[in-house]
């Protein structure tokens, strides 16, 4: 590029690391930032760095958290007998958005994928087993909210084997045709399974 400022060039380089931001967009963003008040750019840059440097992972469920334990785990009203097992903190956000779940979470940090070199030991599985064992009250229920891919299914299978001697109920989230989705566009597997797993109609 033909601009002669090393400072701008370095900022463009930095901004183009963002997903979906190429060199042209990065330049547009940099030139926007260079025109803003110094205070504003300072808080911009600080907010990003503060987030990355101060964010913690909840010691109980491994969710992103500002504190040692995350807001969900600290919430007294949550049902601790109901543990939703997810792949990443993004899934926690997605499920929290629905407002339909009042249990707690366990973030695995990925799924078992031999191709990508991710084995069970890289995931937060030990802590999950400890959590299940530590339950003094009635046996907990684990809801597997994991992507229905081969890796996801493998992970659920592995977890169920690890947990089979413990007193625990395991379920997976319902698969089916999505609300507002048209039947003709649903893939065969989903459509097929949603017929097998049909639900009695409530009048």
Half-sphere exposure of 133 (CA within 13 A, CB side): 9
Tell me the sheet residues that pair with 143. 84, 171
| H or E element that contains 97 | helix 89-98
Q: Closer to a copy of itself at the Cβ: 75 or 169?
A: 75
d(CA 163, CA 146): 17
Q: Closer to a copy of itself at the Cβ: 8 or 118?
A: 8
Minimum distance from residue 197 beta carbon to a copy of itself (Å): 28
| 44 Cβ contact list (under 8 Å, min separation 6) | 33, 36
Q: Closer to a copy of itself at the Cβ: 99 or 117?
A: 99
Minimum distance from residue 117 beta carbon to a copy of itself (Å): 17
Minimum distance from residue 73 beta carbon to a copy of itself (Å): 10
Q: In 3D, which of 52, 43, 67 has the Cα closest to residue 17?
A: 52
Q: Closer to a copy of itself at the Cβ: 38 or 138?
A: 38
Angstrom CA distances, 16 to 36, 37, 118, 159, stand at 19, 22, 28, 39
Q: Closer to a copy of itself at the Cβ: 1 or 174?
A: 1
Minimum distance from residue 130 beta carbon to a copy of itself (Å): 23
Minimum distance from residue 39 beta carbon to a copy of itself (Å): 10
Query: Which residues of the shown chain bind a copy of itself in the complex (CB under 8 A)?
Result: 1-8, 10-11, 13-15, 17-20, 25, 28-34, 36, 38, 40-55, 64-66, 70-72, 89-90, 93, 96-97, 99
Tell me the sheet residues that pair with 85. 106, 144
């Amino acid at each position: 590029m033909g601009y002669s400022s090393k400072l701008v060039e370095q900022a463009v380089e930095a901004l183009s690391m963002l997903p979906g931001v190429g060199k042209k967009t990065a330049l547009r963003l940099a030139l926007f930032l260079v025109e803003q008040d110094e205070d504003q750019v300072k808080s911009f840059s600080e907010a990003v760095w503060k987030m990355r440097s101060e964010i913690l992972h909840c010691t109980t469920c491994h969710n992103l958290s500002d504190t040692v334990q995350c807001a969900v785990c600290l919430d007294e009203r949550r049902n601790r007998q109901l543990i939703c097992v997810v792949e990443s903190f993004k899934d926690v956000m997605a499920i929290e958005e629905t407002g339909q779940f009042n249990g707690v979470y366990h973030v695995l940090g990925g799924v078992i994928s031999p191709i990508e070199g991710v084995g069970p030991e890289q995931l937060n599985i030990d802590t999950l087993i400890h959590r299940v064992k530590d339950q003094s009250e009635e046996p907990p229920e684990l809801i597997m909210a994991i992507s229905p891919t081969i890796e996801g299914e493998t992970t659920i299978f592995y977890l169920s084997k690890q947990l089979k001697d413990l007193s625990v109920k395991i379920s997976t989230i319902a698969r089916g045709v999505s609300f507002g989705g048209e039947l003709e566009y649903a893939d065969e597997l989903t459509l097929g399974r949603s017929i097998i797993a049909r639900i009695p109609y409530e009048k």
